[in-house]
Amino acid sequence: MSDQTTKLSGPDLTQAIELSTIPDGTMLLGHAHGEPVLLARRGDEVFAIGAICTHYGAPLEQGLLVGDSVRCPWHHACFSLRTGAALRAPALDPVSRWRVEAVRDVARQFTPVDEPVGAVFVREKLKPWERQQQPPQVDLPKSVIIVGGGAAGNAAAEALRQEGHTGDITMLSADETLPCDRPNLSKGYLAGTAPDATNPLRPAEFYTKHDIDLKLGTRVAAIDTAGRRVQFADGGHRDYDALLLATGAEPVRLDIPGADLPHVRYLRTLADSRALVAKALVAKSAVVIGASFIGLEVASSLRARNIGVQVVGTETNLMEKVLGREVGDYLRSLHEKHSVTFHLGTTATSIDDDAVTLKSGERLPADLVVIGIGVQPTISLAQQAGLAMDRGITVNEYLETSAPGIFAAGDIARWPDRLSGDRIRVEHWVVAERQGQVAALNMLGLQQTFDAVPFFWSQHYDIPINYVGHAETWDELEVEGDIAGKDCLLRYKLKGRTLAIASIFRDVANLQEEVAMERAAAST
């Protein structure tokens, strides 16, 4: 999904850039050798790296410099200024880097040692940075099995190879399709603005090239923790030295008459999404049952296809429990402006070929019905294996379960959150990827604690909502700016302490709050 078509802007950085035009701690967007380049200054050091985020193509100069890294304004990826390496998901690929030459006498491009630097020039592109492999501290697992080919599983497999792990890696996925960009399924892909080619996280060759044995359509039926073996649903089995469970979540099913009709769809997998898109190509009217993030994103994507959309939800105020009344009201008015009709405080009692019937008896015409009433973590394997459970799989700060050598990451994992001091489980893309990466390092004995502050985003039409932290309840909601004016930052506080923040079009402030939360967590 990265958009590399950005026009070049700013100065030509191959020409002299006066150092005084880049004060310490600032960035300058320019270009060099035909590519957009970000010049960033830290004290006396000046760095030149690719200016476009490798996730979805955000302009990095609109992000935040933190130490010798830059954070992306859209979904909080982080890149090293020194190496270009993607330090944090959701970016999985590095940005390019260029050599920067500092000169003291600009006119003569001359560098006498006793004069201060006057200007910098961006010179040639440098070779992609390669991680220095550390000698292993422990006996490395010869065979790693990852159960799950989603955000966490894929990120773990990649991280293992990046760390130089040379043993076997097998990724088992019940999905028939390659690991995919799940957030895209309810947004660009469903709206018709992102083609199917944007869905896979990596092409099939990527896994072959990195010697990752990806087995699609392979469901694990049981784990033998004593024998260190996973049993496949089709009868096969495989042994492991280290195991990562990353089985994600599955949609809660609605048990009403008609819920199994062919025009009634759920949305979790790429196969679900393709089937939904096929229906959307011919649908005129849709009912979305469930006013969750997924339900509302589906509503906005179906509206982009000019399908009439009605949303049914049991809550009386949209999104109140997650984002508060004020943002919920705003989201409702935003969707209503796009001609979505809401039926809140009610339920659907049955579905037939051309309508959904509500508790009141009202019939809502629909040739497409999408159900998004929440998900539940896929934990039956872990339960059967006897792992410690707590509304998810209990893991420690290293993401290890109660069984040594078995890790869990993503939607299934409940971990000790450093910021809140609580054990939490979230269903966020970025958290799942970062947990997959940390679990991978810990399988290699690197003893990394998972202490990232949770982050998620949601997109409704052209309005993004970015959320950092985790607040299940709060007693004070501080609103800064103007929600209806799409320029706001909200603080969710409990007993005076900020647990989470949400923002609309305040990306830098959102990143600054994230840094503040990280510092607060580190000092606990």
Ligand X SMILES: Cc1cc2nc3c(=O)[nH]c(=O)nc-3n(C[C@H](O)[C@H](O)[C@H](O)COP(=O)(O)OP(=O)(O)OC[C@H]3O[C@@H](n4cnc5c(N)ncnc54)[C@H](O)[C@@H]3O)c2cc1C
Q: Interface residues with ligand FES (CB under 6 A)?
A: 53, 55-56, 58, 72, 74-75, 77, 90-91
Q: What is the distance between the alpha carbons of residues 371 and 258, in angstroms, rounded to a whole number? A: 12
Say if residues 347 and 314 touch (Cβ distance below 8 Å): yes
Is the CB of residue 408 less than 8 Å from the CB of residue 246? yes
SS3 content of the chain, % helix, strand, coil (to 5): 20, 35, 45
267 is a contact residue toward ligand X (CB under 6 A): yes
Closer CB to ligand X, 103 or 379, in the complex: 379
Nearer to ligand FES, 90 or 94 (CB): 90
Binding piece for ligand X, criterion CB under 6 A, among 20-28, 283-291, 399-407, 422-430: 422-430
Look up residue 12 and give its DSSP letter. B
The answer to whether the Cα torsion of 248, 273, 350, 311 is positive or negative is positive
Compare residues 248 and 313 and give the one whose CB is closer to ligand X.
248
Helix (H, G, I), strand (E, B) or coil at 364: strand
Q: Which does 72 bind (CB under 5 to 8 A by kind): ligand X, ligand FES, none?
A: ligand FES
Determine which residue in the list 268, 335, 418, 491 makes contact with ligand X, applying CB under 6 A.
268
Of 47 and 266, which CB lies nearer to ligand X in the complex structure?
Answer: 266
| Binding segment (CB under 6 A) for ligand X, from list 39-47, 49-57, 428-436, 474-482 | 428-436
Q: Distance between CA 90 and CA 77 in Å, rounded?
A: 5
The binder of ligand X chosen from 429, 450, 474, 492 (CB under 6 A): 429
When binding is defined by CB under 6 A, the residue of 61, 163, 175, 400 that contacts ligand X is: 175
For ligand FES, give the closer residue by CB, 63 or 308. Answer: 63
Q: Which member of 313, 324, 410, 469 binds ligand X (CB under 6 A)?
A: 410
> Taking CB under 6 A as the rule, does residue 307 contact ligand X?
no
Give just the sign of the alpha carbon dihedral 334, 336, 338, 344: positive
367: how many CB neighbours lie within 10 A of its CB? 17
| φ, ψ dihedrals at 410, nearest 5° | 90, -150
In degrees rounded to 5, what are phi and psi of residue 212?
-105, 115
Q: What is the rounded CA–CA span in Å between residue 101 and residue 111? A: 10
* Cβ atoms 129, 93 nearer than 8 A: no
Of the candidates 199, 458, 498, 503, which one interacts with ligand X according to CB under 6 A? 458
Q: Does 158 help bind ligand X (rule: CB under 6 A)?
A: no
| CB proximity list for 176: less than 8 A, separation 6 or greater | 216, 217, 271
Smaller CB separation from ligand X, 81 or 267: 267
Partner interacting with residue 458 (select from ligand X, ligand FES, none; CB below 5-8 Å by kind): ligand X
* Residue 148 in the binding site for ligand X (CB under 6 A): yes
Burial class (CB in 10 A: 0-12, 13-18, 19+), 281: exposed
Q: Does residue 437 belong to the site contacting ligand X (CB under 6 A)?
A: no
Tell me how far, at minimum, the Cβ of 252 lies from ligand X, in Å: 12
Q: With 0-12 CB in 10 A as exposed, 13-18 as middle and 19+ as buried, what is 360?
A: exposed
Pairwise CA distance, residues 285 & 307, whole Å: 5
Per rule CB under 6 A, count of chain residues that contact ligand X: 36
172 near ligand X (CB under 6 A): yes
Choose between 85 and 366: whose C-beta lies nearer to ligand FES: 85
As to burial, measured by CB atoms within 10 angstroms (0-12 exposed, 13-18 middle, 19+ buried), residue 229 is middle
- Residue 319 makes contact with ligand X by CB under 6 A: no
432 contributes a contact to ligand X by CB under 6 A: yes
Whole-number Å distance between alpha carbons of 53 and 63 = 10
428 binds ligand X (CB under 6 A): yes
Distance (Å, whole) CA 229 – CA 222: 9
Least Å distance, CB 172 to ligand X, is: 5
By CB under 6 A, residue 299 contacts ligand X: no
Residue type at 340 in one-letter notation: V
- Number of Cβ atoms within 10 Å of the Cβ of 211: 12
Tell me if 188 contacts ligand X by CB under 6 A. no
245 binds ligand X (CB under 6 A): no
CB closer to ligand FES out of 159 and 430: 430
Residue 303 CA to residue 309 CA, distance in Å, equals: 7
CB-based contact 479:473 (threshold 8 Å)? no
Position 248 contacts ligand X (CB under 6 A)? yes
144 binds ligand X (CB under 6 A): no
Q: How far is the CB of 173 from ligand X (least distance, A)?
A: 4
Nearer to ligand FES, 88 or 343 (CB): 88
| Contact characters 20-59, ligand X, x per CB under 6 A | ----------------------------------------
**How many C-beta atoms lie closer than 10 Å to residue 121's C-beta?**
20
Rule CB under 6 A: choose which of 411, 507, 513, 514 binds ligand X.
Answer: 411
Nearer to ligand FES, 194 or 216 (CB): 194
Q: Which stretch binds ligand X (CB under 6 A): 182-190, 313-321, 332-340, 383-391?
A: 182-190
Chain position whose Cβ is nearest to ligand X: 150
Handedness of CA 415, 421, 427, 430 (dihedral sign): negative
58 binds, among ligand FES, ligand X, none (CB under 5 to 8 A by kind): ligand FES
Nearer to ligand FES by C-beta: 72 or 302?
72
| Interaction site with ligand X (CB under 6 A) | 147-153, 172-175, 182-183, 185-186, 219-220, 246-249, 267-268, 294, 378, 381, 410-411, 427-430, 432, 456-458
